[in-house]
């Protein structure tokens, strides 16, 4: 194998595929990048047996071939080389030789025949969506994915096609994030739960552009395809929450508030809630809704915090406790200037909705306040 490639091209490919390199494994081959030529193209592949990524680039292929090289070492060397053409070849001792201007590196390689093939997916259902739309849907839900492995199904986002609308839902037992988008083409209904880790990595790869990405789903695998990149991932098994049935439709108390002002208040009060003296303890923030006013406060051994905002309100006065992080995660994901925050009782969920008819909903469970 012998190729000459622009640094920018190969570095972009490396940065994309290294997201699926195995970090803790007894199989050294999974710590490598599989490099394979095909006419005037080079394909880089990584696979940790859960996520697999392929990235194809055009370059000057002088000799065809394939090899596997340690991903961390290869990527660090390429990253630090000058911004010019890089020559990469396998020498007669089966070492990967990297040359660029005055730089020369030789790396040990592994047998490409031992690199596992990516799963072949017989796609049963698929959709196409603009990359910037998918990026926004992931950003507005991924923070609510569970990190608790005892309920694996909630460590992923539900992708549900229903009545030609894509719903992406994340839930972790304390909060729920739901973002939807109507699709232009007629699509069959289907559901799939995609691991949160996969979505985080895909979000780093896709661009903020109107270029399409195709999402294909089979029985236990999903395939994300872009122009020169392909991501294969396993799906999560299990019964996802019937999310639409748990979100309250009615409210006892509603406020209409400027998102930035509410977010800034929660950020300041959370400085006291996340006490530096007692790092293991997280104190709830008290939210008191009165006519035309919201008071957000917290008291603990570190000190007291109190913020007042004047708002539009409807319904009853209310007092409830919340984890401020859950409010902040939701508010930071919202782009709207104003939102509705709907409350039931002090022990029922709070729901953040758009003021106009919108495409997102956030639900947060309260924390019982001590008397």
Contact 302, 349 (CB under 8 A): no
**Can you give the three-state secondary structure of 252-295, one letter per residue?**
CEEEEEEHHHHHHHHHHHHHHHCCCCCCCCCCCEEEEEECCEEE
Alpha helices in 18-85 (DSSP H): 71-80
Burial class (CB in 10 A: 0-12, 13-18, 19+), 357: exposed
Which residues are CB-contacts of 346 (< 8 A; sequence separation ≥ 6)? 318, 319, 320, 321, 366, 369
Q: What sign for the dihedral angle of Cα 60, 62, 66, 69?
A: negative
pLDDT of residue 369: 84
Instruction: Give the CA distances from residue 64 to residues 11, 95, 169, in Å, rounded to whole numbers and listed in that order.
Output: 20, 15, 45
Contact 286, 369 (CB under 8 A): yes
Say whether 237 sits in a helix, a strand or coil: coil
pLDDT of residue 281: 55
Where the chain has pLDDT below 50, the residues are: 276, 280
pLDDT of residue 144: 97
Under DSSP, the state recorded for 239 is P
Contact 21, 48 (CB under 8 A): yes
The enclosing H or E element of 132 equals helix 131-139
Say how far apart CA 309 and CA 292 lie, in whole Å: 8
pLDDT of residue 368: 87
pLDDT of residue 325: 93
Say how far apart CA 328 and CA 296 lie, in whole Å: 13
For the chain, domains (ranges, CATH) are: 2-114 (3.10.150.10), 125-244 (3.10.150.10), 247-364 (3.10.150.10)
Count of other CB atoms within 10 angstroms of residue 80: 9
pLDDT of residue 302: 82
Contact 191, 135 (CB under 8 A): no
């Amino acid at each position: 194998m012998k190729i000459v490639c622009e640094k920018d091209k190969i570095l972009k490919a490396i940065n994309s595929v290294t997201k699926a390199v195995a970090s803790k494994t007894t199989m050294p081959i999974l710590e490598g990048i599989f490099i394979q030529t095909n006419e005037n193209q080079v394909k880089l592949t990584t696979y940790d047996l859960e996520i697999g990524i392929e990235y194809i680039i055009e370059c000057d292929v002088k000799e065809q071939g394939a090899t596997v090289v340690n991903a961390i070492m290869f990527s660090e060397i390429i990253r630090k080389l000058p911004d010019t053409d890089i020559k990469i070849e396998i020498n007669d001792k089966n070492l990967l030789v990297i040359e660029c201007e005055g730089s020369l590196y030789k790396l040990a390689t592994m047998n490409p025949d031992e690199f596992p093939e990516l799963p072949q997916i017989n796609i049963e259902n698929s959709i196409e969506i603009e990359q910037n739309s998918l990026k926004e849907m992931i950003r507005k839900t991924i923070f609510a994915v569970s990190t608790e492995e005892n309920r694996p199904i909630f460590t992923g986002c539900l992708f549900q096609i229903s009545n030609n609308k894509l719903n992406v839902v994340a839930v972790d037992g304390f909060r729920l994030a739901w973002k939807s988008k109507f699709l232009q083409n007629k699509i069959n209904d289907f559901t799939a739960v995609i691991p949160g880790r996969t979505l985080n990595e895909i979000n780093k790869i896709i661009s903020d552009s109107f270029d399409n990405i195709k999402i294909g789903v089979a029985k236990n695998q999903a395939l994300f395809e872009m122009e020169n990149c392909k991501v294969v991932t396993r799906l999560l098994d299990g019964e996802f929450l019937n999310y639409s049935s748990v979100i309250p439709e009615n409210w006892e108390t509603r406020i209409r508030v400027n998102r930035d002002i509410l977010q800034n208040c929660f950020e300041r009060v959370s400085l006291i809630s996340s006490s530096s003296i007692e790092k293991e303890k997280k104190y709830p923030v008290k939210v008191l809704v009165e006519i035309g006013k919201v008071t957000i406060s917290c008291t603990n051994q570190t000190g007291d915090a109190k913020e007042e905002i004047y708002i539009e309100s409807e319904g009853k006065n209310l007092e409830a406790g919340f984890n401020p992080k859950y409010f902040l995660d939701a508010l930071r994901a919202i782009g709207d200037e104003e939102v509705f925050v709907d409350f039931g009782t002090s022990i029922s969920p709070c729901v953040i909705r758009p003021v106009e008819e919108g495409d997102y909903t956030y639900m947060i469970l309260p924390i019982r306040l001590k008397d």
